[in-house]
Structure 1
Amino acid sequence: MEIIIEKIGGVSAQQSMIEIVERKGTGHPDTLCDRAAEELSIAFSQYYLKKFGKVLHHNIDKCLLVGGRSEVCFGGGEVITPIQLIIVGRAVERVGNEKVPLEEIARETTNRWLNERLRFLKPEKNVVVETKIRTGSADLRATFDSSIPLANDTSIGVGFSPLTETESLVYHTEQFLNSTEVKRDYPMIGEDIKIMGVRVNDHIKLTIAIAFISQFISSKDAYFNTKTNLLEYIQAFVKKLTRRKVTLAINAADNYEKDVVYLTVTGTSAECGDDGQVGRGNRANGLITPYRPMTLEATAGKNPITHTGKLYNLTAGQISAR
């Protein structure tokens, strides 16, 4: 393999007049799909290692989330149609006479991490997990049989470093809002948080979508008062990260007169408002950065031994950070 490193000329993202950055948080439907795929790849890898002494061929990098339906009101509500999570991929189903319990591993793994990451979602009740996992083709399985693993695919990897101030601000603000500390002080903040950062010259605007949890919001006035308090809370946090002027907006579609608010039962829009898919969310570094070199290759769920779509992107990020 030949590696060529070249300095790119022109105006950097940090120096450009306009910069746009996005991050989809823990509970966003696209992030949930990425997590479902990645957690299952980890679970299969661990099972193969324990049972057969090595990781076997698999790629679980296709996942679709079909949003459910909910009836929500101030102080409560319920999910009336469960979220459907359809996980698709390829994996070794049998070794000799021993069958690998792919569906059982998928259900147990998905329910476990959903319980860990979404405080008010009840996966056994609110989520239906469906798997469509088949054995991979002989040529791709053979990439594992060589003494040196062979590439599973033709792919590219992209990485860059360091983050610009806007990129860092978007990333760390979402991490902050989904932290244990903030959830303790503001338990009504759901895990579905999406942040769009737009910088024009030295002015940064953060548009933040937060799925508020209805059981903690007693009325419309309480909702809007909570938003006001949160804006001050977040503003104090972002001042620690930048000296630039930062304007904040939370749930910009809200309308007091028309009773339009962003309330959920579970803390994710997947219960009613949105669907999800692997690869539509954050890139390998946790951000969506259209002003940077990017690849549309999704890393989630690809096997960690031979799939260049995962390995090259992670390696590119590590190289750029050195």
Structure 2
Amino acid sequence: MTELTITEVGMRDGLQMESVFVPTNQKIQIGLGLIDAGLQRIEATSFVSPKAVPQLADATEVISELRGRGATLAALVPNPRGAERALEAGVDELVMFISASETHNRHNVNRSVAESLENIAPMAQAVADSKRSLRAAVSTAFGCPWQGNVSAEEVARVIEGFAAQGVGAVTLGDTTGMATPPIVRHLCAKLAEWFPEVELTLHFHNTRGIGLVNVIAGLEAGITRYESALGGLGGCPFAKGASGNICTEDLVYLAAEMGLETGLDLRRLINLAERMQEILGHELSGQVMKAGPRLPVA
């Protein structure tokens, strides 16, 4: 049976979009619940400036309480200071990010792609010295709200920069929900040809309602690693009508119906998504949490 590896990103990519601060103890309880449901990979927070993203100001506390519980804890780091804080907190994996689109990169971090690539060297060295894992994320890999289509060559330029620093794991981000199955198949085929040694993960948003369709296209391209968010949490400030990431419970349900193994407890995930909805005080976009699975789940 084919195995699907899922990284839960709701605690970072999802909660960072929420306007009301979620208390630290509630974040920790959600994280523990995810681990109990079988998640072995969780992007738990981001070590960004608390002024920029106040929702994640408690990154150190969250990591401290979730460490050693059986899951690999990842955190997004935007700069060398963020990497330093993440290492001090005991994060297992650090995630650096750069947009494939020049315009999006400038809007996001106020730098050109070339400047961002120069900025990753000290972070990569610090992580290498610490013996922790390092992952790269390429934002707007499937399209940009300002530029439009993003070429495979533009994505490859960023991956080459990361690879030069010894990064062997790359997440392709559908940051603003512009991916379509033909784009997914084309990009994945090109990158598999150009970077056969790089481990690819796909991160889709459901902005236009075809997030899981893109997952199927990714599976057809041979990709078995995906990122998703509990309840479909998230969004993007640059994506009009963004409805969040693909939903973890929906992805797990799809995988089960396709005969793919995830190792995750769907019933526990549904209960956890319902709990998250209560915490946030608004409806989440996940569908399986509302309708339930097609057949009873043990």
Instruction: Provide TM-score, normalisation by structure 1.
Output: 0.24
Bigger-Rg structure (1/2): 1
Going by fraction, where is helix more abundant, 1 or 2? 2
